[in-house]
Amino acid sequence: MAALKIPFFRYPHVFAQHREEVMSAMLLTMERGAYILQDEVRQFEEGIAKLTGARHVVGVANGTDGLIIALRAAGVGPGDEVILASHTYVATAAAVHFNGAKPVLVECGADHLIDARAVEAAITSRTRALLPTQLNGRVCDMEALSALAQRHGLLLIEDAAQALGARFQGRCAGTFGLAGMISLYPAKLLGCLGDGGLVMTNDDDMARRVRLLRDHGRNELGEVVTWGFNSRLDTVQAAVLLAKLKHYPAEMERRRALAARYRAGLSMLEDLTLPPGPDENGRYDVYQNYEVESGRRDALRAHLLEQGVGTLVQWGGKPVHRLSGLGFDQVHLPHTDRLFKRCFLLPMNTSLTDDEVDFICGAIRKFYGVA
């Protein structure tokens, strides 16, 4: 195999892939002087609603703000506990913290998603909400989590930052509970040229509160009726996202094809645990990431780096309960700890070619001594 250089992610591709359409959209918006909550924001929100089936979609400045606002709009506050997986980005827990509530961290299951049994064991009289992370472009067992929420009278809010368009039992991530958040960070499934996020809800009153909170508490008449934040999706970013949105169904299918190619090239390796294939288990996975496990992870990553292939361990290699400055010293999650000694991400984005995926698979097989 001739040497290739395959970075984990090609940030220039976010702009270059649809350069002419993106440039045209930006210029039209800027020439109009349309910067804050103009038509493109509404049109993009409507486009995402059509894609996901959500009744309301509200553009915000970033995904973290989206979670903070969703929890605030739902009434989560001091004295409440919110259950989430430790295998998530710190922003999930931070959104709980900055609403004055307590993040309660639990294990993930074999699929790397929150374990419903661990959630049930962690429910107390102070539990107010469940906050599952729809990780890597895959949706949690929302049937089990929804049943738990209903049985215990809990709110269900989704961190669906990595799962735009992913489905479970025909329903899109972010539409199962009272609200769901989508991230539009450049490296996400649908990325803008900076920060951006969305809050989705099927509840009319929840949507009204979210819209107030994102814009200084101002109603549609411009009157301040409550305390709010400054967290609006920029119109220029919305224009960029609108230009890219028309290509999104094809992008999802391309990621699914790349995942199938990885599976075909690596499934014979006993030491390597792969995500399910795109047609397994009745889910529609969109593969934000391709997270694998290896008993020889560090040596394998070093080998791939020598071959010019970039890889990554999510969250800097630490789940939330291992972030020393956050006060989770007494939290013990042995399954999650074991996972973080084994898991890492292979490149997964639509800049990859079939030849590059084949090269990566060949390099991994070579490491294991398999032809």
CA distance linking residue 70 with residue 117, whole number of Å: 25
Residue 3: the pLDDT is: 64
Q: How far apart are CA 181 and CA 162, in angstroms?
A: 9
Tell whether the model's pLDDT for residue 294 goes beyond 80: yes
Using the predicted structure, report yes or no on whether residue 190 has a pLDDT greater than 50: yes
Cβ contact 236:36 at 8 Å: no
**In the predicted structure, residue 357 carries a pLDDT above the cut 50:** yes
| 132 has a pLDDT exceeding 50 | yes
d(CA 49, CA 285): 19
pLDDT higher than 70, residue 2: no
pTM, two decimals, is: 0.96
The letter for the amino acid at 189 is: L
- Supply the DSSP symbol for 320: G
| Over residues 152-164, mean pLDDT | 98
Q: What is the mean pLDDT of residues 136-146?
A: 97
pLDDT in tens, 75-128: 999 999 999 999 999 999 999 999 999 999 999 999 999 999 999 999 999 999
C-alpha distance from residue 12 to each of 15, 116, 347 (Å) = 6, 39, 15
Residues 6+ apart with CB under 8 A from 279: 260
Q: Is 309 exposed, middle or buried (0-12, 13-18, 19+ CB in 10 A)?
A: buried
Residue-by-residue DSSP string for 198-252: EEEES-HHHHHHHHHHHBTTB-TTS-B-S---B---BHHHHHHHHHHHTTHHHHH
Mean pLDDT over the full length of the chain: 97
pLDDT of residue 1: 46
Distances (CA, A) of 231 to 174, 183, 197: 19, 13, 9
What's residue 63's pLDDT? 98
Q: pLDDT band for position 356 (50/70/90)?
A: very high
CA distance 179 to 73: 10
Residue 239 near residue 85, CB atoms below 8 Å: no
Q: 76: Cβ–Cβ under 8 A, 6 or more apart, which residues?
A: 82, 96, 99, 101, 128, 129, 155
Percent of the chain clearing pLDDT 70 (strictly above): 99
Q: State the pLDDT at residue 151.
A: 98
The domains of the chain, with CATH numbers, are: 13-245 (3.40.640.10), 248-367 (3.90.1150.10)
Report pLDDT digits (tens) over 242-293.
999 999 999 999 999 999 999 999 999 999 999 999 988 789 999 999 999 9
Q: What stretch of H or E contains 168?
A: strand 167-168
Helix runs in the chain, H state only = 12-16, 19-31, 39-52, 63-73, 90-97, 116-122, 142-152, 204-214, 235-245, 248-266, 297-306, 334-339, 354-367
Asked whether the predicted pLDDT for residue 306 surpasses 90, the reply is: yes
Neighbours of 112 (CB within 10 A): 22
Q: What is the pLDDT of residues 192-239, one digit of tens each?
A: 999 999 999 999 999 999 999 999 999 999 999 999 999 999 999 999
Query: What SS3 state is found at 102?
Result: strand
